[in-house]
Each structure stands twice: as C-alpha cells, then as structure tokens.
C-alpha cells in the first residue's frame, strides 16, 4: 500500500462548493474524498502523488482519465499536468488509469441544471453544486458535454504543482538545502550549483514525504505549454498506422466474433436457422442471444459472411414501423399535456401578437446516426472470478458497474481497459457493444472474445439523434423584431439514454430546447416552450445533443423574421444581443467575413449565433448557387471559450465541428421502414466529402473567466447559418433537414 493513501485530497476538488441543501446524500459522504486509485497497487518505490501523477525509477506516468475520442483529450490533460510539474511532453507516458470515482467529472454539472450558462447568480451556483455533489457520489467519470477541459483546467495543474513541490521537498530533505533555493525544470529538481536531480531518482524519497498541498498556480504569462502550439502526443502514431485502437488489440488466445441483432431496435429474436452457417469455413460457434445471433470464427470476415447465411425471425419493433408515423407523433405533441416546460417567458407574446401581423413557420430535424469511422467493438474475457474488458468508452465507471450487474459479480472483479477511440460523437456513451461481447464471452468462459460490429450492424443499431419539429410565431415593427414565440417538440434523447442506464431524468428535459431557450437576445416578448414527444425509436446524445436541432430551429426562425422585417441579419442580431460575449462573437465573424461587402451574383451569406455548453458561437456561411447545385464556399466561426489550452487541436476540432454539422445538415438522416433504419452504410448517410469542404476560419475569444470545451459548440449554429445563406443566395428557405431533399449540393 502506498504511504500517501491517508493524505487528504480535498484541495483537488475544485468546483465542489459547499452544498446548501436539497441533496439526499449526507454531507459526510459528499466531503469524503474518493480514494486515490493509484495507491491501490503502488509499492514503496512508487510516488503516487495523487490520482493523476505517478513517478518511479522507471519513469513518469500522467493519468488522463478523460477518454481520447479524437478531440485531443489525452494531450490536453497531459499538457495541464506537465505545465506545473515542469516536465516536457516527451518525458512522460500517459495512461487512462483504472476507472475510479476519483476521476468524477466536476464540470458536467454546468449543463445538467436549468440555468442559462451566463447566469452566475447565487441560486444558479447552488444548483450546480448540488448536481456536482450527485456526480461525485456516483463517481461519474464521464467524457462528454465538452466538459473535459473545464473539469481538468485547474484540477490537473494543481495535481502537477503538488507533485512538483513534493519532489522539491524530497530534494531538500536529501541535500539539506532550503526549498527556496531549489528550482525545477525538464523533469528534474535543479540545485543552486546546477546539479540536476531527476524526478525518477527522487521518487522513492518523495513517496515517504507528506504531500505538499499548499501550492499557488503559476500566472499564465509563465506558461510553456498551455496555450502554445505543441505537437499532439498521438500525432506520430496516428500518421504511421501505429496507433492501436480498441478494434486492433490482440489478446492472447482470442477468438473473433460478430453479431446480428434485431434491426427493430430493442425487440427480441423469435427464432433462427443457422444450418448453412454452421459448416462454413472457420466458424467455431453459433451463439443464440435473446436479441440476435453471434458467430464466433477464426477471422472477422468469415464471421461476417456466416452471419449473412443465417435465417432469422425477428419480433416487431416496439415503436412505429414507418417514418411517417414518427413525424405524425411529433406533430401531435404540441399539446398542453405534452408540455415539458415553459423555459423562457420575457414580456407577453400573446399580447404582442394581438392586432399584429403574425409570421409563422415550421421546421424539422430528423434522426441522424453517429457512425464514427471505427466500428463498434469490444474484447471481453470472462472467468469465474474476473472479467477483463478492452474497449473505448466515454463512461468507464458505468461500464464497470453495468457489467458487474449483468454478470452478478462485484465491481472490483470487473477490469476495464479503456482504449483510444476512432471517433465517437456520443456513440460511445452507449453500451451495446459491451453488452453483446459480455454475453458471448460469458458463454465461452476462459476465452477472450473480440466482437466487431459490421458497419451495417453499427448503423442499424445506432441510437440516433432526437427527431423533432418546431413551430415559430413572430412579429416585428419598424424593421425591429418585437415578439418571438418558439414551440419545440422532440423526443427526449436524455430520457431514452437514461432509461437504458436504468435511471431517469429528474424534472423536465432541458435538451429539448437547448440552444434556443438560452438565446442571448433581448426580444421584448420572447417565449420558448419544450414539448416531450413520447418515446419512439431509441435516441441518444449526438454531438451537441439538443442544440443540434433546437439551435437550428431558433436561428432559422429568427432569420426569417429579420428578413420579413426588412432588417440586416447581422445588424439586427447585434442589436438584440444582450450580453458582451454574444456581441463579441458576432462582431468577430462580421469582421472576419467582411459582412456587408458586396458579393457576386448567385451568392449569399448567412449568420447564426447559438450558445451551447456555455460557449456562444457565431458562424457566417457563404454559398454560391451554381448550375450544379449549392456550393459552400467559406465559413467563419468565432467562439468565446475563456481560455484555449491546446490551440492546434482547438482549430482542428472547431473546424471539424463545422464540417460535421454542415455535412449532416446537407445529406444525412435515418428514416424507418418496416421498423428498421433504411440507411445502413455511408453511401446512404454520407456526411461531408473533401470536395465539398469549404475554406473555414476559426477564432477563439478569451474574455470570459470560465474555461470551456469546443467539441460540441461549433455544431449548432452551422445548419442554420447554411440555410440562412442559401436563402440569401436563392430566395429558397430550407426548413427541413437534411437539405438535399429540397436542393442539390455540388
């Protein structure tokens, strides 16, 4: 056992402000800090300073518990620790560590409570701390909600600083020199005469010391790494085919497997005939499951091919079989009994509409699949007293808890080895690959099973984005918007997701209206209401969650009103913008895009401003209406994120978010027929291709004291800005995504 286990780590728990009340858990439990998971298997020679830093004679390990999904989380976390620890990135290795309560996400709370994220009032702070306490008690180690950087920003620098100061104390004890004479640099304590004592040689001594907890964080002006363009730690591996993803792992003695599940998601299998498959080359086992059939083979392709030869009788879908009925269910939900919550009510819209000419419009956002490029997979080995799981997941602790429950074992017996993911976009918040691999491996105890989903299976089983519609009513006077009333009805992806976790969403679902209710505009009369459509096909979190649809609705409708009023889309938004960050991002994109300058014929610009995950983002899209269809020429984006930790990744991910949003708005949807998704591979749900990619320029603003992530916020404004640009270029207003059902794209 490590000696440092007893040291209090309360000072790490940034953000866990005192709880004023309203939590069902006792204050003692909330205040008790989670154990340091690194101490569990530390020896006397290991200095495990805290859950994030381990140093021994062999080297320096930084634990980066947020999963790297391609968003650069591993590098970002390492940079924050390394900044204060005074090590260079090429001197350390990173590890996901084991799933642990200590890695609970302190930042998710910000989006889980119903206060506008620019609302720093006392009551909002109390509510956030309440959710934070819940997250901590649950030990929710979550990567999502663009929260990794917020969660890590202070906590990981503190972790680095405490380790550094403790190493200095160890060096002082060894040399008899006063601590104030010691410096640190490049992974070593430097003595006044220039002698370097490497951290690795000091580790054994440091492990005997009391952890120095009273540390001051450096001023940003002294930073070497944070905010600087450094090389991402994984970029060489990812450019040479040497990065190992979950799908690439090879576990001693493993067999290969694949599965066909009922394409009518969630429904069981009635029966099957695998006679033809059984005798196919390489097939060792056909495994019947309640929801489908798996084939175990010696080669993935042989498993795929055998699956195609199995005749299966599937039960009916637990939701409407045909797409039209899904839309009808959404359309029928704008009723008082389906009202989830009236989220915003400024002024009096009804009074404002009286006697005025009321402008109306209706919008649609379809189901859309996630489909990161690495197909779902998991390797699982079950024995009677231990389970090992290798996969990439955004919620490692939930995997552990879920598998323990599924196999009726103790959590401590479940060993989850998190992996680099070939993308996620919310896909790896679900457990379907884990469940199937566990079920098959449970029937083959002692043998590791690598379960790989065919792309078609992955598409068919995808828990998509929510489907939804919006109805807007508005009025204007003298070129100014005077009233805006937005009703949004979607299925609740949060409830759908939480139900699969065996949990529920307390109270109304803010995601139905996310990006709309919190619009940073002062319209004299403004109302936003959310309606919950009863569960249809299962849905989940899709990059930017509710704001991907509600942001499109709000900014499309506002744009229509502004055009109807005869005002300029940028000027009127600037006039309505009611906080400095919102104004600043609008002004930035106006300047970047040279808004107002003359465009050639058949060209148009559109703008949109949506705040999601606490980040206001403005985007301008410029298009040309060519003879071959709409061409997206350029995009400008400005986002207020407080502080950019990794500027290279910031630019890459923000740009990628725009491409993601534009691609899916153009050409992607999932529709159901006979209870099954009709799109089962990329030719039917394509996203953006390279030839369609516009020139994109992004700018980060760093005025706000809150540090925020950029994974999701670039997504919500893009679809609206594109529709608004197409209207400006062609006079055609696109109200239904995907737009390729209405116009052609080059």
Partner 1 sequence: MKLNVDGKSHEVDVEDDMPLLWVLRDELGITGVKYGCGIAQCGACTVHIDGVAVRSCQTAAGDVDGAITTIEGLGTPDALHAVQDAWITHQVAQCGYCQSGQIMQAASLLGENTAPTDAEIDEAMDGNLCRCGTYPRIRAAVKTAAAKLQGA
Instruction: Tell me: does residue 243 bind partner 1 (CB under 8 A).
Output: yes
Residue 417 Cβ, how far from partner 1 at the closest point, in Å?
17
Which partner from the list partner 1, ligand FES, none does 499 bind, CB cut-off 5 to 8 Å by kind?
none
Contacting positions for ligand FES (CB under 6 A): 70, 373, 423
Which of 195, 208, 250, 741 touches partner 1 (CB under 8 A)?
250
Instruction: Tell me: does residue 276 bind partner 1 (CB under 8 A).
Output: no
The contact mask relative to partner 1 for 582-621 (x = CB under 8 A, - = no) is ----------------------------------------
Of 63 and 715, CB closest to partner 1: 715
Residue identified by tokens 């249809």 is 536
d(CA 2, CA 9): 15
Of 75 and 492, CB closest to partner 1: 75
Stretch that binds partner 1, among 105-113, 117-125, 329-337, 415-423 (CB under 8 A): 415-423
Of 608 and 661, CB closest to partner 1: 661
Instruction: Tell me: does residue 176 bind partner 1 (CB under 8 A).
Output: no
Contacts by 354-360, CB closer than 8 A, 24 or more apart: 356/475, 356/477, 356/482, 356/483, 357/475, 358/473, 358/474, 358/475, 359/473, 359/474, 359/475, 359/476, 359/560, 359/561, 359/564, 360/471, 360/472, 360/473, 360/474
Of 221 and 240, CB closest to partner 1: 240
Peptide bond into 522 cis (omega under 30): no
Site for partner 1 in 54-73 (CB under 8 A): 69-72
Residue 71 is given by DSSP the state: S
Which of 693, 730, 733, 742 touches partner 1 (CB under 8 A)?
693
Of 318 and 423, CB closest to ligand FES: 423
Number of shown-chain residues binding partner 1 (CB under 8 A): 66
Residue 667 Cβ, how far from partner 1 at the closest point, in Å?
12
d(CA 262, CA 278): 20
Other CB atoms closer than 10 Å to residue 123's CB: what's the count?
A: 10
Q: Coil, strand, or helix at residue 718?
A: helix
Angle, vertex CA 424, rays to CA 420 and CA 426, nearest 5: 135
The alpha-helical segments, DSSP class H, found in 216-299 are 275-278
Residue 457 Cβ, how far from partner 1 at the closest point, in Å?
11
Question: Exposed/middle/buried for 736, CB within 10 Å: 0-12, 13-18, 19+?
Answer: middle
Residues 6+ apart with CB under 8 A from 697: 592, 634, 635, 636, 637
Stretch that binds partner 1, among 204-212, 238-246, 506-514, 582-590 (CB under 8 A): 238-246
Which partner from the list ligand FES, partner 1, none does 504 bind, CB cut-off 5 to 8 Å by kind?
none
Q: Coil, strand, or helix at residue 555?
A: helix
The alpha-helical segments, DSSP class H, found in 492-616 are 493-500, 547-565, 569-576, 580-592
In a 13 Å sphere around the CA of 252, the CA atoms on its Cβ side amount to: 2
Instruction: Tell me: does residue 242 bind partner 1 (CB under 8 A).
Output: yes
d(CA 343, CA 363): 19
d(CA 442, CA 153): 40
Which of 256, 283, 449, 620 touches partner 1 (CB under 8 A)?
256
Site for partner 1 in 336-375 (CB under 8 A): 371-375
Stretch that binds partner 1, among 270-278, 296-304, 437-445, 598-606 (CB under 8 A): 296-304
Of 231 and 732, CB closest to partner 1: 231
Binding site for partner 1 (CB under 8 A): 69-72, 231-232, 234-245, 247-248, 250, 256, 281, 298-302, 304, 371-375, 420-425, 452, 454-455, 648-649, 652-653, 655-660, 663, 681-683, 686-691, 693, 695-696
């Amino acid at each position: 056992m490590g000696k440092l286990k007893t040291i209090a780590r309360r000072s790490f728990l940034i953000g866990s402000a005192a709880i004023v009340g309203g939590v069902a858990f006792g204050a003692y439990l909330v205040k008790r800090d989670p154990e340091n998971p690194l101490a569990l298997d530390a020896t006397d020679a290991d200095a495990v300073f805290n859950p994030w830093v381990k140093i021994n004679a062999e080297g320096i390990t930084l634990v980066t518990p947020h999963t790297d999904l391609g968003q650069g989380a591993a590098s970002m976390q390492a940079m924050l620790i390394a900044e204060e620890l005074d090590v260079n990135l090429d001197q350390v290795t990173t590890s996901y560590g084991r799933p642990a309560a200590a890695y609970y996400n302190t930042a998710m709370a910000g989006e889980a409570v119903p206060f506008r994220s620019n609302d720093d009032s006392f009551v909002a702070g109390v509510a956030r701390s309440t959710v934070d306490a819940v997250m901590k008690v649950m030990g929710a180690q979550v990567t999502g909600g663009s929260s990794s950087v917020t969660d890590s920003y202070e906590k990981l620098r503190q972790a680095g600083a405490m380790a550094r100061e403790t190493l200095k104390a160890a060096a002082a004890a060894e040399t008899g020199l006063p601590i104030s004479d010691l410096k640190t640099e490049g992974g070593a304590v430097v003595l006044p005469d220039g002698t370097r004592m490497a951290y690795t040689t000091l580790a054994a001594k440091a492990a005997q010391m009391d952890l120095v907890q009273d540390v001051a964080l450096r001023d940003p002006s002294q930073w070497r790494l944070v905010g600087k363009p450094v090389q991402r730690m994984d970029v060489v591996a990812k450019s040479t085919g040497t990065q190992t993803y979950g799908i690439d792992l090879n576990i001693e003695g493993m067999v290969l497997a694949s599965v066909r599940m009922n394409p009518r998601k969630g429904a069981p299998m009635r029966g099957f005939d695998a006679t033809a498959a059984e005798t196919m080359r390489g097939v060792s086992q056909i495994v019947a499951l309640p929801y489908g059939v798996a084939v175990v083979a010696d080669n993935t392709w042989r498993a795929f091919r055998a699956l195609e030869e199995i005749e299966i009788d599937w039960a009916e879908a637990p939701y409407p079989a045909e797409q039209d009925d899904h839309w009808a269910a959404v359309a029928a939900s704008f009723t008082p009994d389906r009202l989830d919550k009236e989220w915003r009510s400024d002024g009096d819209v009804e009074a404002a509409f009286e006697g005025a000419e009321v402008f109306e419009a209706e919008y649609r956002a379809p189901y859309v699949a996630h489909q990161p490029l690495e197909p779902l997979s998991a390797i699982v080995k079950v024995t009677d007293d231990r389970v090992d799981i290798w996969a990439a997941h955004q919620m490692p602790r939930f995997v552990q808890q879920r598998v323990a429950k599924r196999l009726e074992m103790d959590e401590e017996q479940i060993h989850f080895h998190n992996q680099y993911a070939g993308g996620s976009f919310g896909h790896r918040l679900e457990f379907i690959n884990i469940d199937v691999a566990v079920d098959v491996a449970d029937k083959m105890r002692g043998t590791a099973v690598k379960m790989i989903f065919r792309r078609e299976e992955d598409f068919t089983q995808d828990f998509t984005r929510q489907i939804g519609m919006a109805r807007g009513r508005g009025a204007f006077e003298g070129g100014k918007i005077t009233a805006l009333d937005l009703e949004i009805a979607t299925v609740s992806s949060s409830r759908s997701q939480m139900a699969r976790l065996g949990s529920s969403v307390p109270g109304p679902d803010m995601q139905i209206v996310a990006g709309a209710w919190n619009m940073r505009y002062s319209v004299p009369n403004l109302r936003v209401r959310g309606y919950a459509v009863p569960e249809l096909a299962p849905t989940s979190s899709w990059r930017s969650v509710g704001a991907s649809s509600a942001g499109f609705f709000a900014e499309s409708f506002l744009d229509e009103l502004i055009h109807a009023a005869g005002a300029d889309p940028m000027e009127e938004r600037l006039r309505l913008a009611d906080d400095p960050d919102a104004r600043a991002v609008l002004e930035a994109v106006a300047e970047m895009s040279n808004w107002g300058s003359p465009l050639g014929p058949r060209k148009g610009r559109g703008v949109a401003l949506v705040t999601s995950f606490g980040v206001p983002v403005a985007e301008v899209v410029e298009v040309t209406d060519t003879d071959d269809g709409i061409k997206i020429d350029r995009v400008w984006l400005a986002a207020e994120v407080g502080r950019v930790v990794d500027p290279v990744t910031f630019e890459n991910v923000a740009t990628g978010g725009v491409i993601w949003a534009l691609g899916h708005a153009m050409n992607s949807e999932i529709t159901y027929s006979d209870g099954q998704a009709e799109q089962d591979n990329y030719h039917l749900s394509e996203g953006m291709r390279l030839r369609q990619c516009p020139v994109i320029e992004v700018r980060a603003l760093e005025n706000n004291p809150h540090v925020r992530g950029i994974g999701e916020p670039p997504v919500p404004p893009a679809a609206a800005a594109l529709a608004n640009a197409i209207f400006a270029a062609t006079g055609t207003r696109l109200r239904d995504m995907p737009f390729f059902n209405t116009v052609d794209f080059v």
